[in-house]
Amino acid sequence: MLSPVLLVVALLTVLTVTMESDHWTADQQEKFCTWQCLKFTLQWPGSFCLGLKNSSQCRIPPNIQTWTIHGLWPSKAHTCCRCWPIFHSDLKELDPELSQLWPSLLKTQSSFLFWKDEWIKHGSCAACVEGMNSPLRYFQICLKLRGRFDIDRALEDAGIKPSCNQSYPGQEVLVQVKIPLSQNLTLGCHHKEDQGAEPEPPQLWHTFPGHPCPQDSPVFYFPINHDHPHQPCD
């Protein structure tokens, strides 16, 4: 069985996506795109509810059995058009796929409101790149990334399966995986944020800000429980 550390190395070889940029010159893109790196973030529904202050607000739609999309986030973006509106009709052709791969896990938030929030906070920042310069294109890219990054298969092939009893070396509860990407959507990002800074190595595993876990603690990969999502092992 592969450890999570070895698994990360294996996963880094899975994903390579390119993007066309037909209408933006290099100077234009540099001017309007203040970011160089993105994180494509996936979340595990089986553990998601455990991190909520009010876990009773969590729900897992009955058709959800796999990792779902949380978002595609430009890092340190400063130039964003947050006033760019998005309507459900913009995503009509993608609705079936988005509902399956990017559902809301909150009773108080519809899936469209989840997508809308992600577009306003992050998609509008990514829109300076030609391949993501509309809500439709941004969400198409996210679905394409999810299709190329099959984390469910990668974990299963490594012998890591959801369980209430089995734990793995690492951090306490496996909730999210963040995949570093460059602006052209190739895997990994080595951009120097500062003149004298060292490039950031590719990393997939992150602790939640404010909730660091000891590195020697076991990690649990809880199963999805549709009836009791906030108590997956009861």
pLDDT of residue 26 exceeding 60, the answer is no
pLDDT of residue 193 exceeding 60, the answer is no
pLDDT of residue 31 exceeding 80, the answer is no
**Could you give the CA distance from residue 86 to residue 115 in angstroms, rounded to a whole number?**
9
pLDDT of residue 77 exceeding 60, the answer is yes
- Whether 20 sits among the annotated catalytic residues: the reply is no
Residues 6+ apart with CB under 8 A from 205: 4, 8, 170, 171, 177, 178
- Whether 190 sits among the annotated catalytic residues: the reply is no
CA terminus-to-terminus distance, the chain = 27
pLDDT of residue 131 exceeding 70, the answer is yes
- pLDDT band for position 157 (cuts 50, 70, 90): very high
**Could you give the CA distance from residue 162 to residue 156 in angstroms, rounded to a whole number?**
9
- Whether 118 sits among the annotated catalytic residues: the reply is yes
Please tell me which residue in 88, 122, 198, 226 is annotated as part of the active site.
122
> Which of 119-133, 136-150, 160-174 bottoms out in mean pLDDT, i.e. has the lowest?
160-174
* Residue in 202, 208, 229 with CA at minimum distance from that of residue 40: 202
Please tell me which residue in 20, 30, 70, 130 is annotated as part of the active site.
70
